Structure 1
Amino acid sequence: MELSTGTAAKKVVVFDYGFGNVRSAERALAHVGADVEITRDFDEAMNADGLLVPGVGAFSACMQGLREARGDWIVGRRLSGGRPVMGICVGMQILFERGIEHGVETEGLDEWPGTVGPLKAPIVPHMGWNTVKAPEDSDLFAGLDADARFYFVHSYAVHDWSLEVTNPRIRAPRVTWATHGEPFVAAVENGALWATQFHPEKSGDAGAQLLTNWIGTL
């Protein structure tokens, strides 16, 4: 699944703040035609067409690493200017208001209201392939069949979506759900900010199509 070679490749920075499968993300993005750089350089991250924020491990550790790399400031500044940002796995979770792990509450980036909490399921972590239920008007999942499967690895999730948009001129966020023991937020499309709980870079052709869709918006 590659983008047309007739157009200039979009520059995507995979933000390297010490938490995430940056090499896997780099390979997946390059495979679909992006010009990819792994860096934590402030100017490069600010000026790229798209910024991808990965995340693996504990919510609190990811937030600490992100703040130390000034990633919180970069994400906020990019979004205030309508510059695309995409979060993956814990890189999605930290976009919410807070995370609670082992009784410890950590402030997130608060781009969306909500709390990341333990996933209640017979088997945790949720590790493996699963389907999702995307809105019919989703741009992120455009061109994908309803039974497309994506690769998940997580023990925590967001279980409720409370952000409402009352201004008819503003497009409401599109929220995709999945179920493992209980429903949880699997992806969000909200203006310039998109995110997935699953790993598109590990999700084969379906993940490649999804990344292609994101790059197509840059």
Structure 2
Amino acid sequence: MTERKPTLRDQQRAATRRVIQAHAVRLFTDRGYDTVTVAEVAEAAGVSAMTVYRHFPTKEDLVLVDRPALLVAEKVAASPPDLPVVRRVAGALVEAAGVLTGGGEEGGRAPDERFLLDCLRLMIATPALRARHLDSQYALQQAVVEALGHDAADQDAAFGARAATGACLAAMHTALTQWAEDDGRTALPALIARALTASFGDVLAGGPGEGGPAAPPGTG
């Protein structure tokens, strides 16, 4: 099945969404999430409040980032199906982090990396956003389990996939929190790989060439 190419209208909507979200996160970071109104976000972005709500139904949605979940699910779906679930999910998490942060090179910073850091800090510091972050983690878990392609009728396999995915996401959350606290000084892929290795040890010993996560510096 051929994937539909984005139309000009799709591209314009995506560009408008990016502009709105960039202004929102900047304002939230500079002035505090609770003090900034949607009307102020709209004014900064040069659009109406109705346009903001059309793209982001709630204020919390302005801080949520959809791309990581889609990217992780794509990486999982593309991984070898004969590998253990933990290695498929772990490898996808590390690979996706590399893409989202421009390869995760120390010293450099991809254009989206600061934005991701700001979003993450806001979600950690704001109670309402922490609740939405938990919701997004659950949605990511569901997307990953579906991408694994297990037979839904096999309840044992489905349970195992959910459990393994949840454990991988918990390790990733620890790495994300550390990344935010360190202001991104350590490459995110390396932090995620370190957290996964601490959680699963020898299960991930296959390495990236066999579907395991890339080894963080100093652990190889």
Shorter chain as normaliser: what TM range?
under 0.3
Given the two structures, how large is their TM-score scaled by the length of structure 1?
Answer: 0.24
More strand by share: 1
More helix by share: 2
Given the two structures, how large is their TM-score scaled by the length of structure 2?
Answer: 0.24
The structure with the largest alpha-carbon Rg is 2
